Amino acid sequence: MARTISVAAIQTSYGEDIKANIAKTEGFIRDAAKKGAQVILPSELFQGPYFCTTQEEKWFATAYEAKTHPCVKALEPVAKELGVVIPVSIYERDGPAYYNSIVILDADGKQLGVYRKSHIPDGPGYQEKYYFRPGDTGFKVWDTAFGRIGVGICWDQWFPEAARAMALMGAEVLFYPTAIGSEPHDSSLDTRDPWRRAMQGHAVSNVIPVVASNRIGVEASGQNFYGSSLIADHRGDLVQSFERADEGVLVHTFDLDFLDRHRAAWGFFRDRRTEFYR
């Protein structure tokens, strides 16, 4: 019997109230689980609005220790009840250090560990270096109840080496929680299509499915998030996708045994010339 994995991406808007945001996310997780999803991805920093548009010290008070973060503690019993895996995006505090992080909840509700965002953007509307230091975990993959997954966070997705590193570590599906939209310094700049193409390229170059969840809506900062969440197959084709204002869940099932054989047949990992990378 073939090994399969059913994945889901959540696309929605978020407000100021963390409890309301958690409840909203839980509702979409339950909807995705009813549709057969086994690994369900909320978007980046769903605990509240995307606060990195400006530099305001008040937001440091919204960071919590990873193991006891309100989003993590609220979704642990949900993961266990539904028997699903949830990569939970959080604002993490570890002593005096602050990170943009992911906690992986397995299908029994247990925490598998933490990944801290490696690449931190710093530009108009995305001033993350004020709030987060670069992650110190390195890229990671996780043996979940349904397969081996890799998770990058938003800006990580622009770097092909992040996807390749996770693929070399044996990831079978890549996930990217994201918060991206308008560019306040240039109203004519629309990054939606390049954003999609970058991840579709990761799928092609690593013969691996890619799942991306983005938020939607115009927030109090004026930032307009363009949604367009996606599930791409090993060819980079969009097998499921949302438009800019859609709200809901995307679900798709992949045959992991087929992908494993097909990845070997392409030879991308066989023909790597590591002697040239030093």
Q: Which residues are known catalytic residues? A: 44, 117, 154
DSSP state of 22: H
Q: From start to end of the chain, where are the E strands? A: 4-11, 39-41, 86-94, 97-105, 111-116, 122-123, 126-127, 141-143, 148-151, 173-178, 210-214, 216-218, 224-226, 230-232, 238-241, 248-255
C-alpha–C-alpha distance, residues 140 and 101, integer Å: 12
Q: What is the 3-state secondary structure (H, E, C) of 130-182?
A: HCCCCCCCCCCEEECCCCEEEECCHHHHHCHHHHHHHHHCCCCEEEEEECCEC
Helix (H) or strand (E) holding 242: none
Considering only CA atoms, give the Rg of the chain. 18
For the beta carbon of residue 205, count every other beta carbon within 10 angstroms. 15
- The closest of 78, 88, 77 to 34, measured between CA atoms, is 78
Phi, psi of 214 (to 5 degrees): -125, 155
**Residue 187 and residue 164 in contact, taking contact as beta carbons nearer than 8 Å:** no
- The closest of 262, 276, 215 to 9, measured between CA atoms, is 215
Cα→Cα distances 39→85, 186, 277, Å: 5, 36, 34
